[in-house]
């Protein structure tokens, strides 16, 4: 690094640091207003479970929301999902993505994640809109749910919740420890005070993840309440949702054991592309080439043509991408090579029943 480059780096770091201080001051003021009751918190007619995080980037909010919706539905408890609809045109005015039977919006309207949830869930309505209290009241009168799941709701303090689930990446629970834009924290670590349960995600070693997390908490000298908050640990397990055959646009069921070749050219535009690539390898795939794009990336025909050309040149019989990526181009282009669509499911191991029982306590009162 030259002297000029070093000086520029220091200047940028200084600007980011000062900006993060202003951001932090705004976040702190907002928290004080809610804590003192000066900003109103409103309730919906039935229990609300919030799924959120305190860092920018993927901690697994969508897999957790899907997990809760599916599990509670199996247990005879009817949910409705409320999401802001990040990146979707319907976010401002709000709307119904799905009534649990019919999906009414395209991804560009609803946002990637709400569309994905609406596509995967049966008999679970999905609604979007930044005014989630209004959407919640409308959804309650339409569908009479037993409870709401507030997707990405930790910072949405206008809506009172009965259970605050805070997701934290097991490797870097607080990112680099700095607030946006110098770091990835959306609010200070002290905000952990509001959580009812912590879930460490993407963990390959439960005991080690838990030990490191508790040691990290101690360094921040947080309240006794935070230190006694229940902590669960889960892993993100890749699952093949199915295959999109060449020349088609719909996912079909597919048995991996029938594959005579595990060579794939993979691509993704999610918060943690490396995790997707690593998951494919752990699943037994041989990744010949990998294309990584920014989160929520909108694929052009040229992008897809480049990936197809790479698959052909490497002799790969399959391409592979995430289900989040797939919904962004599903109806834009038919591919000439079979495409494997990969999803993520949560694995709590032996803690599964304990976690489900905890959730039940908050929504069946």
Q: Where are the beta strands (DSSP E) in 68-217?
A: 79-83, 95-98, 126-128, 147-151, 163-169, 197-201
pLDDT over 90 at 7, yes or no: no
Q: Write down the pLDDT at residue 10.
A: 61
CA 39 to chain centre: 28
Q: 8-17, 123-132, 155-164 — which is least confidently predicted?
A: 8-17
pLDDT tens for each residue of 52-68: 999 987 899 999 999 99
Mean pLDDT of 31-39: 85
Residue 352 has pLDDT above 80, yes or no: yes
C-alpha distance from residue 337 to each of 191, 285, 315, 333 (Å)? 47, 16, 11, 12
Average pLDDT value for the chain: 91
The answer, as to whether pTM is greater than 0.85, is yes
pLDDT bin (cut points 50, 70, 90) of residue 24 is: confident
Residues of CATH 3.40.50 domain(s) within the chain?
48-235+348-363, 237-345
Q: So what's the pLDDT on residue 298? A: 92
**What's the whole-number mean pLDDT along residues 70-84?**
96
Q: Which residues of 39-73 are buried (b: 16+ CB within 10 A; e: fewer)?
A: eeeeebebbbbbbbbbbeebbbbbbbbbbbbbbbb
pLDDT in the model for residue 171: 93
Question: For strand 263-268 and strand 235-244, is the pairing parallel, antiparallel, or unpaired?
Answer: unpaired
Any idea which architecture 237-345 has in CATH?
A: 3-Layer(aba) Sandwich (3.40)
Q: Which residues of 92-116 are buried (b: 16+ CB within 10 A; e: fewer)?
A: eebbbbbbbeebebebebbbbbbbb
23: CB partners within 8 A, 6+ apart: 179, 180, 181
pLDDT at position 332, please? 86
CA–CA distance, 364 with 241 (Å, rounded to integer): 32
CATH code that applies to domain 48-235+348-363 = 3.40.50
Q: pLDDT for 183-220, tens place per residue?
A: 899 999 999 999 999 999 999 999 999 999 999 999 99
Does 69 have pLDDT greater than 90?
yes
Report whether 71 contacts 116 (CB < 8 A). Answer: no
The residues near 356 (Cβ < 8 Å, ≥ 6 apart) are 71, 75
Q: What is the pLDDT of residue 355?
A: 98
Q: Which pLDDT score is estimated for 19?
A: 81
pLDDT tens string 243-257: 999 999 999 988 777
> Residue range 46-56: average pLDDT?
96
Is the pLDDT assigned to residue 4 strictly greater than 60? no
pLDDT of residue 31: 82
């Amino acid at each position: 690094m030259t002297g000029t480059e070093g000086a520029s780096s220091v200047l940028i770091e200084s600007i980011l640091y000062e900006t993060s201080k202003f951001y932090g001051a705004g976040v702190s003021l907002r928290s004080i207003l809610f804590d003192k009751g000066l900003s109103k918190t409103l309730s919906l007619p039935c229990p609300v479970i919030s799924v959120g995080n305190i860092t920018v980037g993927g901690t697994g909010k969508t897999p957790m929301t899907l997990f809760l919706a599916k599990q509670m539905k199996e247990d005879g408890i009817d949910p409705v999902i409320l999401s802001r609809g990040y990146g979707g045109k319907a976010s401002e005015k709000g709307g119904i993505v799905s009534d649990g039977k019919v999906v009414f919006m395209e991804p560009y309207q609803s946002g990637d994640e709400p569309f994905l949830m609406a596509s995967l869930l049966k008999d679970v309505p999905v609604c979007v809109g930044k005014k989630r209290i209004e959407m919640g009241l409308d959804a309650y009168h339409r569908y009479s749910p037993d409870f709401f799941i507030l997707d990405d709701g930790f910072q949405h303090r206008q809506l009172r919740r009965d259970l605050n689930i805070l997701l934290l990446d097991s490797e870097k629970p607080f990112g680099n420890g700095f607030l946006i834009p110098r770091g990835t924290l959306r609010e200070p670590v002290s905000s952990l005070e509001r959580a009812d349960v912590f879930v460490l995600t993407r963990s390959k070693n439960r005991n080690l993840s838990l030990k490191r997390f508790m040691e990290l908490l101690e360094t921040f000298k947080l309240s006794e309440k935070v230190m006694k908050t229940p902590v669960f640990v889960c892993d993100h397990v890749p699952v093949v949702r199915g295959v999109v055959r060449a020349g088609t646009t719909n996912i079909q069921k597919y048995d991996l054991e029938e594959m005579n070749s595990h060579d794939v050219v993979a691509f993704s535009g999610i918060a943690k592309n490396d995790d997707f690539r690593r998951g494919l390898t752990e699943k037994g795939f041989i990744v010949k080439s990998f294309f990584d794009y920014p989160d929520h990336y909108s694929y052009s025909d040229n992008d897809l043509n480049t990936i197809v050309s790479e698959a052909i040149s490497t002799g790969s019989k399959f391409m592979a991408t995430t289900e989040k990526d797939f919904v962004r181009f599903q109806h834009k282009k038919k591919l000439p090579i079979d495409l494997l669509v990969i999803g993520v499911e949560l694995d709590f191991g032996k803690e599964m029943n304990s976690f489900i029982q905890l959730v039940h306590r908050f929504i069946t009162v």
